[in-house]
Amino acid sequence: MTATPTARWLRRPAGTPVQLGYGADYNPEQWPREVWKEDVRLMQEAGVTIVSLAIFSWARLQPAEDRWEFGWLDEVMDLLHDAGIAVDLATATASPPPWLTARHPEILPVTARGETVWPGARQHWRPTSPVFRTYALRLVEAIATRYAEHPALAAWHVNNELGCHNVYDYSEDAARAFRVWLRARYGSLEALNQAWATSFWSQVYGDWAEILPPRLAATHPNPTQQLDFTRFSSDALLDHLRAEREVLRRLTPDVPVTTNFMVMGTTKGMDYAGWAGDVDFVSNDHYVTPGPQSLDELSFSANLTSAIAGGRPWFLMEHSTSAVNWQPVNQAKRPGEMARDSLLHVAHGADAVCFFQWRQSAGGAEKYHSAMLPHAGPDSEVFRAVTALGATLRDLAPVTGSVRQPARAAILFDWQSWWAAELDSHPTDRLRYRQEALDWYSAFLALGVRADLATTGTELSGYDVVVAPVLHLVPQALADRLTAYVDGGGHLVTTYFSGIVDENDHAWLGGYPGALRDLLGLRIEEFAPLPDGVSVQLDDGSRGTLWSDRITVTSPDVDVLARLAEGESAGLPAVTRRRAPGGGSAAYVSTRLGPDGLTPLLDRLLAAAGVASELPPAARGRVELTVRTDGSRVFWFLVNRTDAPVVLPLSPARVLAGLSDGEGRITLAPRGVAVVQYPPDEAPGDRERAAAGPRPL
């Protein structure tokens, strides 16, 4: 269940202007002191308002167990403060120093194969190690005590990207903590044996001490054990976050606490929806995944971060000015991409835009990672673009604090289904939960229709349409909520492999899609996944891959929207929609259509629900619209998704960014962004909304 953050923002001295934050991770310990003054001067030139400091400074702050060296950090804090730059101060616990791992090698993580993860990089610590916890909290206490009253201190940054490299640890510490977690979850061994279906393959446990993490096994480890270990691993990191936070709250109750999440394509292990209630504001790191959906994925991640933050402003803690260093080929961003990427995060609720990192490192593993100040120095395209973005963010000060104006459609994203749907020993190992959700999102973008990402904690009743792709794990309570949503007039769309298992990963019996069978009005006896290279033709012209089902319709209220068109299954339903008595509906898509196949189908489904694009027709697909509001003003963010200019016939009350000709037209440069302001109820979308009604399928 999502718990929303407590909604405290940065602590700043009275009189500090209300504006969007701008800055980076700042690692002054990598540079001689002479450089620090130049850093601060150039930060001011670029419009930097905040930096994250001391993230990897443990070895410099505590060079030996009984030696502390804060002098250099005092100096940097003062320099920044004198320049009016706020500090998001790290607790510095992300990378234990060599003296600690040499003395206590028992804090090092262990892989499923029993290998030790040695020091030499970073994040080489067990989330469940009591020894690590003791040393880490001592450091947190020392830093918090020293800087509690420092006027530059605006927020605490717990650790760094918790779980980035150490989410799964199979050590003895992990085994002990896993058992404690399981006892709390199940209460008795009987309940655990039942939940884990241990009668299968003679796995019945007679003593808690017999239970292990799912270490390397002869073949498929118990799936519920795996699912619980994934849940536990996320919770173990959350426990670490809480432990650091408690020290910080005790010593500095008025300083908000955050930690940088990683809501992006490459991260799966942390249930951030479940973590959000444990921070004062949500922060996120995002790096672009190259490929045909790279921009869609950026928008998807930002949108999901907004959902996790309960629609309230959040902090973009890291992204890149240009290339990263950790992809197989690290491509530089093209002109305009950096600003567009940054502003797309703001469009989805970010109130601060920060980068990794301020000054590009000369040595170390990240020396080829871009930064605000590149190797080339300030006389560079990157630094000029960085400075221009700083000015744009200043112009956008009025949007600070505004919240997301909900869309009429939502995509439900659920970590439990993500984890469960991609377990091994399934009908196919090709299924990718996040990709399916992203494909639906791409279809919304192609149609120019706004859709909010939602989590299972989001109140869904306000949405006309909810798409829940591959909602695989459906406990009874979730099935009841979705049924109530449809009974209340909502339009639910779901897909293959949904409603299949309960919270223990046990199949719902009686035919698929199990928990959603009656809601959808259909029954499936056997899955029919498709091998690589095999696809199914549908009679609406689309082609499906990955999956197909042999569907029997069980309700007279089901309309078949598309049928299989070829082979032995020709004529069987492939896409269905049950009309519910209260005017709602429940649709089912039995195969993977990809963005191209989903777009026309989604168009039909949205039209039937009366949901239309708020954008002028020529802009649909080419421009992404997001809307933020502070109650008295509505801000439209218009993001050009193409490499060509787009002209929009829109008359804003005020243009905060972008080009308006003053005669009712806004021109978006290639990859450009405009932000326009309207009085409430006067945005063009509001008029469209009033005029739109449901269209027949």
- CB of 161 or CB of 502, closer to ligand GLA: 161
Q: How far is the CB of 325 from ligand GLA (least distance, A)?
A: 7
Q: How far is the CB of 159 from ligand GLA (least distance, A)?
A: 10
| Burial annotation 93-123 (CB, 10 A radius, 16+ → b, else e) | bbbbbeebbeebeebbbbeeeeeebebeebb
Catalytic residue from among 29, 115, 149, 161: 161
* Segment 315 to 344, residues that bind ligand GLA, using CB under 6 A: 318, 324
Q: Identify the sign of the CA torsion 182, 183, 186, 191.
A: positive
Q: How far is the CB of 161 from ligand GLA (least distance, A)?
A: 4
CA–CA distance from 561 to each of 16, 540, 605, 693 (Å)? Answer: 57, 8, 10, 20
From residue 256 to residue 285, what is the string marking binding to ligand GLA with x (rule CB under 6 A)? -----------------------------x
Residue 417 CB contacts under 8 Å (≥ 6 apart), including other chains = 433, 470, 471, 472, 473, 474
- CB of 353 or CB of 593, closer to ligand GLA: 353
Q: Kindly compute the dihedral angle of the four CA atoms of residues 59, 11, 256, 254, in this order, to the nearest 10 degrees.
A: 100
- CB of 267 or CB of 458, closer to ligand GLA: 267
Query: From start to end of 91-205, where are the E strands?
Result: 153-157
Of these, 30, 91, 160, 303, which contacts ligand GLA (CB under 6 A)? Answer: 160
Which amino acid is present at 322?
A: S
DSSP letter string, 335-380: TTHHHHHHHHHHHTTEEEEEES-SB--SSSTTTTS--SB-TT-SSS
Please give the backbone phi and psi of residue 671, each rounded to the nearest 5 degrees, phi first: 60, 20
Of these, 150, 333, 340, 369, which contacts ligand GLA (CB under 6 A)? Answer: 369
Catalytic residue list contains 115: no
DSSP designation for 269:
S
From residue 646 to residue 675, what is the string marking binding to ligand GLA with x (rule CB under 6 A)? ------------------------------
- CB of 287 or CB of 440, closer to ligand GLA: 287
Q: Which helix (H) or strand (E) holds 411?
A: strand 409-412
Q: How far is the CB of 369 from ligand GLA (least distance, A)?
A: 5
**Parallel/antiparallel/unpaired status of strands 260-261 and 549-553:** unpaired
**Parallel/antiparallel/unpaired status of strands 673-678 and 314-318:** unpaired
Of these, 287, 315, 383, 440, which contacts ligand GLA (CB under 6 A)? Answer: 287
- CB of 262 or CB of 668, closer to ligand GLA: 262
- Interaction of residue 439 with ligand GLA, rule CB under 6 A: no
DSSP letter string, 562-584: EEB-SSTTTTSEEEEEEEPTTS-
Catalytic residue from among 318, 436, 614, 624: 318
Between the two ends of the chain, the Cα-to-Cα distance in Å is 34
Q: How far is the CB of 304 from ligand GLA (least distance, A)?
A: 17
- Interaction of residue 161 with ligand GLA, rule CB under 6 A: yes
The count of other CB atoms within 10 Å of the CB of residue 216 is 11
Give how many residues touch ligand GLA by CB under 6 A. 9
Q: How far is the CB of 294 from ligand GLA (least distance, A)?
A: 15
**Per-residue tokens: 566:** 């070829």
- Interaction of residue 88 with ligand GLA, rule CB under 6 A: no
Q: How far is the CB of 318 from ligand GLA (least distance, A)?
A: 5
**Per-residue tokens: 678:** 């309207």
* Segment 300 to 319, residues that bind ligand GLA, using CB under 6 A: 318
- CB of 122 or CB of 312, closer to ligand GLA: 122
Of these, 147, 356, 413, 635, which contacts ligand GLA (CB under 6 A)? Answer: 356
- CB of 243 or CB of 324, closer to ligand GLA: 324
∠ CA 3-176-250, rounded to 5°: 45
Catalytic residue list contains 161: yes
Question: Can you give the binding site for ligand GLA, defined by CB under 6 A?
Answer: 160-161, 285, 287, 318, 324, 356, 366, 369
Which residues are designated catalytic?
161, 318
